[in-house]
């Protein structure tokens, strides 16, 4: 995947990725980026800086919430956590993503 | 829950500095973590790792900007643009601006004045140390509703048995002439107060001392404490004032203290003497009434005091059931002294709410105009929505535009309120001593906050409703029609109803307005000699006097005869006559008219309130009032057993219409009600005089009046009327004062001024009220006329294409114009019909009278005006439509 097309795909689905990551456990911004990279086995390399506007947007929409915490090695960091509304939103987004992907797949398989 | 999370997050982001700190900390943490990872996993040097981490993060500044934009600051940026746009709209549509500001400012001003007056009463604060601990104790008579029936006896009992209130004090007020050594005198309200009364406000005297217990003792040397103003005006601020003598009526008092500037406790007073009354010298049912106040003891609460007071009250009721069984004593904060019941507070709040709603009524009218403006901008709004603006964003913009308009109106309203409050204070100045000193009618910060609230309410009414209607969808349709200006405007049935309603409001409103307008004029008919008169109320010192005391009455008659004799000897004085009331300010009395009919039916023998005046035989002659029928009074009438009466023209017209008034009989109400009503003996009408003082043809001035002879021995206070020829009335005012004092210091004058000034004063509250009513009616009228014009123009503009097509299909100019006018005329016609019907309901309703001829002409003029304005609104655009070429109209299709 070329860097440009990857960015396009990510722009639409960054919120979904963040919500999914936070559904596993609360973590800080850097941790979210790392998690996405690990889970996608390096296929998705999120532009690290663009993560923060997405986090702010999700927070002001009440889907996630944040508070200061301490990392394992004693560093102060802002930890993000999914709210109940965020969990519901994740379910809906996943569903519509799956429908979209299935549709796309069907078109691409057609001969 | 989601809303709460979102709100909390937004709120945190609103504080720019904290949000910036958080952002910096997060970015720094991120880069450090990434650097550490690169060092750990890829074995890079720290510097190289940090560089790579920063590159991977991307443009830090750019991301920060994105974060800042997302914080709602951009929204604020848009808001300031909306304000600028709103200001520009004011200039771009000057007609709308002027109409809306004029109309709404009246509503704001009325709201602000009432807010200032009501909350200066409700939120009053005394300027004293720990003033919230000062309380008043009052005994309401639940049977008669009288608000304070506290007797001296109660006060003395309470003082012994009410530990929750310290320094329990009492006072009463008496009217006295304050006379200084230079023989100048003025009428003042003197407060007779217990010595403890001065200790309650904790204000030390400016000079000398205030009372102590020895001054209260019977037979103690008479002493007086004066206020700062008296010290300045009567003693020119002399340092030697302590020890000097002043006279209160005929008694001499020694000044022992001067209170500091602004001190006017307990109500609005400046002369204090010790209360030397003892309950033991009175029987229980004739002890004088007093006002009681004190300070809550340390640690005691209002309810402690109330509990103790109720206990004492139960005991007193058991001991003296006849006088006390209906009394309910209450302890209230001192500034709530004037509020008879806690319900009154709620009534005040309710009244203020209703007055505030006036803005909604007027705002609805302005909303019509704003809708017309918004509708003409449908294309612009459609483009904005098409470019991605949300509906909320567009509504917010229109709201801000409306807010600019309503803020302007609120500022104008505040200015009007300021002037009106000054008028109100001036109006109260003759009774300044009875207006509590802690009330200040003015533009306080509270009033400004209230007016700001009104501005927002106004903006919501005039901005949001039209905005929601204008943005309701139809973006697509409006975009399509963007090319043809005004064609996109939709005017549904609701707006047609609005036109009809506006016309109806105007038809109902104007006649009511003109009636109010007539009521405001005060011009005394020139044929009476009113402008040559000075008038005053004349009293005699009433200390120790019992009702029906014939020696005191005889003394008063002698004194006033002596005054009349001395006045008559003055150069320029041509007549001096006495009456029971000042003409135009007579008191009301209930009378029955024998055989009175209304609309040909005999009136039930109920009683009616008439203005009545007892006059000397020379009264009518002195004022140049001719006797229209019958005769005037003669010297023998006063002592005649069948007391004759004289009625005025209004009386004869209203109650004896079509019959000869002479010889008809009336009788005065005595007591009782229904079949058990007691009446005084019948009196026979012997004469008819014109309406006097006829001001103009107002309902205020033209009241049915009854005159009867002034009885020498029943008048405790009289009005003195002095006619002066060829001399300045002002000079005579001063001379009358001197002569009165010279005759006896126990004679007092009140409301001494020229007759014309007296009339104006008597009319002033009515004038102020009517001015407010008229302003409201006029602004509603003004707005409804403007709204009608705007809607008519808009409606005709919308039909431009239709008219063009008709022309293309061969319709003649006359046909086209007629079709437009017919529609306008139909709407106006329905509106007029509804308006006249409503007016008829009001006039013919239980509280209305008959429609007199001038009102009919008013109505005719109003209908004419509405038709002209409405048709003018329709003809203009129709004429413009006629100029359109059919080809152009078809092209637009």
* Mean pLDDT confidence for B794-807: 72
What is the model's pLDDT at position B199? 93
Instruction: Look at B386 and B765; give whichever has higher pLDDT.
Output: B386
DSSP, residue by residue, B44-60: --HHHHHHHHHHHH--H
What is the model's pLDDT at position A27? 93
pLDDT in tens, B753-769: 888 887 777 667 666 77
Instruction: Look at A63 and B609; give whichever has higher pLDDT.
Output: A63
Neighbours of B736 (CB within 10 A): 25
Separation in Å, CA of B311 to nearest CA in chain A: 59
Q: Determine the Cα–Cα distance for residues A67 and B717; give it in Å rounded to an integer.
A: 82
- CB pair distance less than 8 Å for B63 and A49: yes
The answer, yes or no, to whether residue B488 has pLDDT greater than 80, is: no
Closest by CA to B587, choosing from B682, B698, B703, is B703
* Mean pLDDT confidence for B21-40: 90
Q: Determine the Cα–Cα distance for residues B326 and B603; give it in Å rounded to an integer.
A: 38
Chain B, nearest residue to A47 by Cα:
B57
Interface residue ranges in chain A relative to chain B, Cβ cutoff 8 Å: 28-30, 34, 47-50, 52-53, 56-57, 59-63, 65-66, 75-78, 83-85
Stretches in chain A below the pLDDT threshold 50: 1-8
pTM of the model: 0.62
User: What is the predicted ipTM?
Assistant: 0.90
Cα torsion at B154, B340, B767, B423 (round to 10°)? 80
- CB pair distance less than 8 Å for A75 and B29: yes
The answer, yes or no, to whether residue B880 has pLDDT greater than 80, is: no
The answer, yes or no, to whether residue B888 has pLDDT greater than 70, is: no
Instruction: Look at B77 and B662; give whichever has higher pLDDT.
Output: B662
* Mean pLDDT confidence for B156-173: 91
Q: Determine the Cα–Cα distance for residues B148 and B152; give it in Å rounded to an integer.
A: 12
Chain B, nearest residue to A75 by Cα:
B29
> Residue A48: CA atoms inside 13 Å, Cβ hemisphere, count?
27
DSSP letter, residue B221: P
**Which candidate from B6, B58, B59 shows the least CB-CB separation from A61?**
B6
Q: Determine the Cα–Cα distance for residues B855 and B842; give it in Å rounded to an integer.
A: 13
Closest by CA to B201, choosing from B106, B153, B286, B266, is B266
* Mean pLDDT confidence for B189-209: 92
What is the model's pLDDT at position B518? 62
Instruction: Look at B525 and B681; give whichever has higher pLDDT.
Output: B681
What is the model's pLDDT at position B326? 81
Neighbours of B871 (CB within 10 A): 17
* Mean pLDDT confidence for B346-350: 84
What is the model's pLDDT at position B381? 80
Closest by CA to B450, choosing from B672, B122, B677, is B122
DSSP letter, residue B460: I
What is the model's pLDDT at position B148? 78
Neighbours of B853 (CB within 10 A): 7
Residue B16 corresponds to which tokens in the numbers above? 């720019």
- CB pair distance less than 8 Å for A78 and B58: no
Chain A, nearest residue to B63 by Cα:
A49
Separation in Å, CA of B1 to nearest CA in chain A: 8
Q: Determine the Cα–Cα distance for residues B771 and B520; give it in Å rounded to an integer.
A: 7
Neighbours of B543 (CB within 10 A): 11
Confidence of residue B492 (pLDDT cuts 50, 70, 90): low
B interface test, pick of A3, A7, A52 with most B CB neighbours within 10 Å: A52
* Mean pLDDT confidence for B634-646: 81
Burial class (CB in 10 A: 0-12, 13-18, 19+), B887: exposed
Confidence of residue B207 (pLDDT cuts 50, 70, 90): very high
- CB pair distance less than 8 Å for B59 and A30: no
Find the range with the poorest average confidence among B206-210, B382-386, B483-487. B483-487
Peptide bond into B693 cis (omega under 30): yes
Helix/strand/coil percent split, chain A, to 5: 65, 15, 20
Q: Under a CB-based contact definition with an 8 Å cutoff, are residues B618 and B678 in contact?
A: no
What is the model's pLDDT at position B136? 92
Q: Under a CB-based contact definition with an 8 Å cutoff, are residues B195 and B215 in contact?
A: yes
What is the model's pLDDT at position B694? 59
Chain A residue numbers with beta carbons less than 8 Å from the beta carbon of B9 are 59-60, 62, 65-66
What is the model's pLDDT at position B409? 94
- CB pair distance less than 8 Å for B2 and A63: yes
pLDDT in tens, B231-286: 998 898 999 999 999 988 778 899 999 999 989 989 889 999 999 888 887 777 67
What is the model's pLDDT at position B483? 45
Q: Under a CB-based contact definition with an 8 Å cutoff, are residues B355 and B106 in contact?
A: no
Confidence of residue B127 (pLDDT cuts 50, 70, 90): confident
Chain B, nearest residue to A70 by Cα:
B29
Burial class (CB in 10 A: 0-12, 13-18, 19+), B40: exposed
* Mean pLDDT confidence for B677-706: 73
Strands B644-648 and B683-689: parallel
Confidence of residue B829 (pLDDT cuts 50, 70, 90): confident
Q: What is the mean pLDDT of chain B?
A: 80
The answer, yes or no, to whether residue B97 has pLDDT greater than 50, is: yes
Confidence of residue B507 (pLDDT cuts 50, 70, 90): confident
C-alpha distance from residue B878 to each of B373, B513, B811, B882 (Å): 19, 32, 14, 6
Residue A75 corresponds to which tokens in the numbers above? 């560093």
Neighbours of B236 (CB within 10 A): 8
C-alpha distance from residue B408 to each of B392, B457, B526, B738, B838 (Å): 24, 13, 45, 54, 34
The answer, yes or no, to whether residue B217 has pLDDT greater than 90, is: no
Classify B134 as helix, strand or coil.
Answer: strand
- CB pair distance less than 8 Å for B30 and A61: no
Separation in Å, CA of A98 to nearest CA in chain B: 25
What is the model's pLDDT at position B547? 46
Q: Under a CB-based contact definition with an 8 Å cutoff, are residues B178 and B232 in contact?
A: no
What is the model's pLDDT at position B205? 94
Closest by CA to B235, choosing from B271, B264, B200, is B271
- Which secondary-structure segment (H or E) carries B170? strand B165-179
Find the range with the poorest average confidence among B33-47, B200-214, B376-390, B775-789. B775-789
Burial class (CB in 10 A: 0-12, 13-18, 19+), B288: middle
Q: Under a CB-based contact definition with an 8 Å cutoff, are residues B560 and B720 in contact?
A: yes
Instruction: Look at A18 and B872; give whichever has higher pLDDT.
Output: A18
Residue B647 corresponds to which tokens in the numbers above? 């009625």
Find the range with the poorest average confidence among B51-65, B438-452, B855-869. B855-869
- CB pair distance less than 8 Å for B32 and A47: no
The answer, yes or no, to whether residue B28 has pLDDT greater than 60, is: yes
C-alpha distance from residue B107 to each of B356, B415, B800 (Å): 8, 12, 37
- Which secondary-structure segment (H or E) carries B160? helix B152-161
Chain B residue numbers with beta carbons less than 8 Å from the beta carbon of A77 are 26, 29
Q: Determine the Cα–Cα distance for residues B280 and B50; give it in Å rounded to an integer.
A: 100
Confidence of residue B844 (pLDDT cuts 50, 70, 90): low
What is the model's pLDDT at position B672? 56
Confidence of residue B39 (pLDDT cuts 50, 70, 90): very high
Q: Which single residue is written with the structure tokens 């039909």?
A: B799
**Which candidate from A48, A61, A65 shows the least CB-CB separation from B57?**
A48
Q: Which single residue is written with the structure tokens 């008659």?
A: B557
Cα torsion at A7, A8, A11, A13 (round to 10°)? -110
Chain A residue numbers with beta carbons less than 8 Å from the beta carbon of B71 are 56
Instruction: Look at B270 and B340; give whichever has higher pLDDT.
Output: B270
Maximum CA pair distance of chain B? 132
Q: Which single residue is written with the structure tokens 């533009």?
A: B443
What is the model's pLDDT at position B519? 56
What is the model's pLDDT at position B448? 94
The dihedral sign for the CA sequence B326, B327, B330, B336: positive
Confidence of residue B699 (pLDDT cuts 50, 70, 90): very low
């Amino acid at each position: 995947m070329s860097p440009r097309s990857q960015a396009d795909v990510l722009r639409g689905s960054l919120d979904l990725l963040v919500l999914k990551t936070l559904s596993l456990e609360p973590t800080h911004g850097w941790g979210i980026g790392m998690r996405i990279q690990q889970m996608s086995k390096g296929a998705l390399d999120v532009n690290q800086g663009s993560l923060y506007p997405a986090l702010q947007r999700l927070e002001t929409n009440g889907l996630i919430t944040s508070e200061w915490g301490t990392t394992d090695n004693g560093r102060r960091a802002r930890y993000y956590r999914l709210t109940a509304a965020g969990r519901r939103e994740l379910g809906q987004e996943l569903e519509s993503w799956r429908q979209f992907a299935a549709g796309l797949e069907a078109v691409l398989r057609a001969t | 829950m989601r809303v709460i999370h979102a709100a909390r997050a937004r709120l945190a982001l609103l504080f720019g500095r904290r949000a910036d700190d958080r952002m910096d900390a997060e970015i720094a943490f991120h880069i450090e973590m990434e650097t550490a990872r690169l060092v750990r996993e890829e074995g890079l040097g720290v510097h190289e790792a940090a560089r790579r981490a920063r590159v991977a993060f991307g443009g830090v500044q750019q991301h920060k900007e994105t974060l800042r934009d997302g914080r709602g600051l951009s929204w604020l940026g848009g808001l300031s643009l909306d304000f600028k746009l709103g200001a520009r709209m004011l200039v771009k549509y000057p007609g709308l601006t002027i109409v809306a500001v004029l109309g709404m400012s009246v509503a704001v001003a009325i709201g602000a004045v009432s807010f200032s007056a009501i909350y200066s009463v409700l939120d009053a604060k005394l300027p004293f140390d720990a003033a919230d601990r000062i309380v008043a104790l009052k005994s309401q008579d639940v049977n008669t509703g009288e608000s304070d029936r506290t007797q001296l006896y109660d006060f003395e009992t309470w003082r012994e048995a009410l530990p929750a209130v310290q320094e329990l004090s009492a006072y009463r007020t008496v009217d006295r002439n304050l006379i200084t050594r230079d023989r100048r005198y003025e009428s003042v309200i003197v407060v007779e107060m217990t010595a403890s009364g001065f200790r309650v406000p904790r204000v030390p005297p400016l000079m000398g001392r205030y009372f102590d217990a020895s001054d209260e003792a019977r037979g103690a040397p008479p002493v007086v404490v004066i206020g700062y103003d008296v010290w300045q005006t009567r003693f020119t601020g002399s340092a030697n004032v302590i020890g000097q003598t002043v006279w209160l009526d005929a008694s001499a008092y020694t000044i022992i203290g001067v209170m500091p500037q602004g001190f006017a406790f307990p109500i609005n007073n400046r002369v204090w003497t010790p209360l030397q009354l003892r309950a033991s010298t009175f029987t229980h049912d004739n002890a004088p009434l007093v006002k009681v106040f004190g300070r809550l003891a340390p640690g005691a609460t209002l309810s402690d005091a109330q509990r103790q007071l109720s206990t004492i009250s139960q005991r007193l009721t058991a001991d003296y059931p006849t006088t006390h069984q209906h009394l309910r004593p209450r302890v209230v904060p001192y500034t709530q002294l004037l509020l008879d019941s806690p319900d009154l507070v709620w009534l005040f709040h309710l009244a203020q709410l209703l007055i505030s709603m006036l803005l909604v009524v007027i705002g609805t009218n302005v909303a019509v105009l704003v809708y017309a403006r918004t509708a003409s901008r449908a294309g612009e709004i459609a483009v904005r929505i098409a470019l991605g603006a949300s509906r909320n964003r567009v509504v917010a913009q229109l709201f801000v535009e409306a807010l600019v308009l309503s803020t302007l109106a609120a500022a104008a309203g505040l200015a009007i309120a300021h002037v009106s409050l000054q008028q109100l204070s001036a109006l109260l100045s003759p009774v300044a001593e009875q207006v509590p000193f802690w009330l200040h009618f003015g533009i306080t910060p509270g009033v400004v906050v209230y007016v700001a609230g009104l501005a927002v309410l106004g903006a919501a009414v005039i901005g949001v409703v039209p905005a929601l209607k204008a943005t309701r969808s139809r973006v697509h349709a409006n975009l399509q029609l963007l090319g043809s200006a005004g064609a996109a405007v939709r005017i549904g049935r609701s707006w047609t109803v609005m036109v009809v309603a506006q016309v109806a409001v105007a038809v109902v409103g104007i006649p009511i307005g003109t009636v109010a307008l007539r009521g405001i004029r005060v011009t005394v008919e020139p044929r009476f000699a009113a402008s040559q008169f000075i008038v005053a109320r004349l009293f005699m010192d009433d200390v120790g006097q019992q009702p029906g005391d014939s020696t005191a009455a005889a003394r008063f008659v002698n004194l006033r005869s002596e005054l009349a004799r001395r006045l008559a000897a003055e150069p320029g004085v041509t007549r001096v006559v006495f009456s029971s009331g000042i003409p135009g300010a007579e008191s009301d009395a209930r009378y029955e008219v024998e055989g009175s009919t209304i609309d040909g039916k005999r009136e039930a023998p109920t009683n009616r309130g008439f203005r009545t005046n007892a006059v000397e035989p020379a009264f009518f002659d002195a004022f140049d009032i001719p006797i229209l029928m019958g005769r005037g009074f003669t010297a023998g009438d006063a002592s005649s057993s069948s007391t004759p009466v004289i009625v005025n023209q209004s009386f004869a017209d209203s109650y004896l219409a079509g019959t000869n008034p002479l010889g008809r009989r009336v009788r005065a109400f005595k007591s009782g009600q229904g079949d058990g009503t007691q009446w005084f003996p019948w009196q026979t009408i012997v004469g008819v005089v014109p309406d006097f003082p006829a001001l103009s043809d107002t309902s205020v001035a033209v009241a049915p009046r009854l005159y009867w002879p002034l009885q020498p021995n029943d008048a405790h206070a009289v009005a003195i009327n002095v006619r002066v020829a060829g001399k300045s009335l002002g000079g005579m005012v001063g001379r009358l004062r001197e002569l009165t004092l010279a005759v006896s210091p126990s004679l007092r004058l009140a409301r001494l001024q020229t007759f014309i000034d007296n009339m104006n004063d008597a009319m002033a509250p009515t004038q102020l009220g009517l001015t407010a009513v008229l302003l409201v009616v006029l602004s509603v009228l003004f707005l409804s006329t403007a709204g009608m014009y705007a809607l008519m123009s808009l409606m005709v503009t919308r039909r431009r294409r239709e008219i063009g097509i008709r022309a293309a299909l061969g319709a003649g100019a006359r046909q086209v114009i007629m079709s437009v006018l017919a529609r306008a005329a139909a709407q106006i016609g329905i509106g007029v019909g509804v308006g006249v019907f409503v007016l008829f309901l009001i006039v013919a309703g239980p509280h209305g009278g008959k429609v007199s001829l001038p009102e009919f002409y008013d109505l005719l003029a109003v209908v004419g005006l509405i038709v002209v304005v409405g048709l003018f609104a329709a003809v203009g655009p129709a004429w413009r439509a006629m100029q359109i070429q059919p080809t152009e109209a078809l092209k637009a299709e």
